[in-house]
Amino acid sequence: MKKKIFLALLITLIVMAVYAGGGKEAEPTGEGEGTLTFALITKALNNPFWERMGNGARELCEERGWNFLYLAPTKAMNLEEQNRLMDDLIAKKVDGIVLAPVDSAGVVPAIERATQAGIPVAVSATGVYGGDIVTYTGTDNYEGMKLVVEHMVEVLGGKGRVIVLDGLLAATVGQDRRKGVDDVLAKYPAIEIVARQDAMMQRASGMQVMENLIQAVAEFDAVIAANDEEALGAIEALDAAGMLDRVMVSGFDGNRDALTAVRDGRMVVTLIQQPEKMAADAILAIIDHMNGKEVPKRLPTEMILASKRNIDQFKDKIDG
């Protein structure tokens, strides 16, 4: 009985500590003294992509009997809060951390503090500019965006006026996707970028930015968004303005809402990623590292283009 009371108090203290640090933490998974504890820190709580990462890591830890903590800034994309969450985990002496960085340079000192404390860190979905990480797991964002943009070029017939919604340009994910857009469109001089703005990879921002651009840009044929959330926000704005029937929109991530939009003809294309596998692969890589095995510095995950041509193949992702 005393042991159960102690464990209950410990869990309560952990949750309180994280909320005091400005983040949200899921209930720990796993039981038993001496069980390994792994933590995942994502960028926000308002994107289903991060929820899927959390689910993938949690399922793996449940299968293996490990404890699992899921944390994210309460204010989306907040670097200061993300770093504070890293320090909380260092103080708790977790066994390993998987991090999806908000800022690829700004998180490096926190990664270094974890490493100095003997806690291995793997990054996922977004790379970093420094720090002794175990590995990077995730999509090749540059090549993935090239696939999306080449599809949009094909649908546009190689010409047109395009608005680009960039996202999180302080992070490698935003930089790589922006470069993918630019390198493809550079090959098609008949396609003009008439406006571009960072919509922070959030739906509300995507809608607000799109509403402003609709007023500022007289005519355009397509919107290329850095991720699905931006694209879905842009679709809401275009629909409200009565323009969705003549403006094409692309996304990136393969979230359920985006796949539904592709099925319904409201979005032209998105790129399906595997966030569940990204997070699980990162934890397994940390385990290998702890066991003295050599771990590749990059562990890529498969990406699949989803458009009206093959959307029927993803019925389970839409209905599930």
Q: Are residues 133 and 152 in the same domain?
A: no
Burial 102-111 (b: 16+ CB within 10 A, else e): bbbebbbebb
- In the predicted model, what is the mean pLDDT of residues 117-146? 98
Name the residue range of residue 251's domain: 141-272
Same domain, 31 and 117: yes
Here the CATH number for the domain that contains residue 235 is: 3.40.50.2300
**Average pLDDT for the chain:** 91
The answer to whether position 6 is within a domain reads: no
Closest by CA to 46, choosing from 242, 229, 299, 260, is: 229
End-to-end, the C-alpha distance of the chain in Å comes to: 41
Do 132 and 168 share a domain, yes or no? no
Least confident of 23-27, 59-63, 193-197, 308-312: 23-27
9 located within any domain: no
Check whether residue 119 and residue 148 sit in a common domain: no
Q: What is the pLDDT of residue 3?
A: 39
CA-based angle 265:247:316, to the nearest 5?
A: 25
Average pLDDT over residues 114-133: 98
User: Does 17 have pLDDT greater than 50?
Assistant: no
Residue 310 lies in a domain: no
Give yes or no: residues 115 and 184 share one domain.
no
Is residue 159 helix, strand or coil? coil
Write out pLDDT tens, residues 147-162.
999 999 999 999 999 9
Rounded Cα distance between 147 and 206, Å, is: 21
More confident residue, 308 or 21: 308
Sign of the CA dihedral with 189 first, then 195, 200, and 205 last: negative
Let me know whether 249 and 295 are in one domain: no
Do 288 and 264 sit in the same domain of this protein?
no
Do 33 and 126 lie in a common domain? Answer: yes
CA distance 318 to 189: 36
Q: Are residues 124 and 61 in the same domain?
A: yes
For residue 208, which of 216, 218, 248 has the smallest C-alpha distance? 216
Q: Are 132 and 103 within one domain?
A: yes
Q: What is the pTM (predicted TM-score) of this model?
A: 0.87
Residue 313 lies in a domain: no
Number of domains within the chain? 2
Residue 247 has pLDDT above 90, yes or no: yes
- pLDDT score of 34 more than 70: no
Tell me, yes or no, whether 307 lies in a domain.
no
281 and 241 both lie in a single domain: no
Place of tokens 């355009």: 220
- Do 128 and 146 fall into the same domain? no
Domain assignment of residue 174, yes or no: yes
Name residues whose C-beta falls within 8 Å of residue 190's C-beta, 6 or more positions apart in sequence. 158, 159, 160
Q: Is residue 210 part of a domain?
A: yes
Q: For residue 246, count CB atoms less than 10 angstroms from its CB and return exposed for 0-12, middle for 13-18, buried for 19 or more.
A: exposed
Domain assignment of residue 114, yes or no: yes
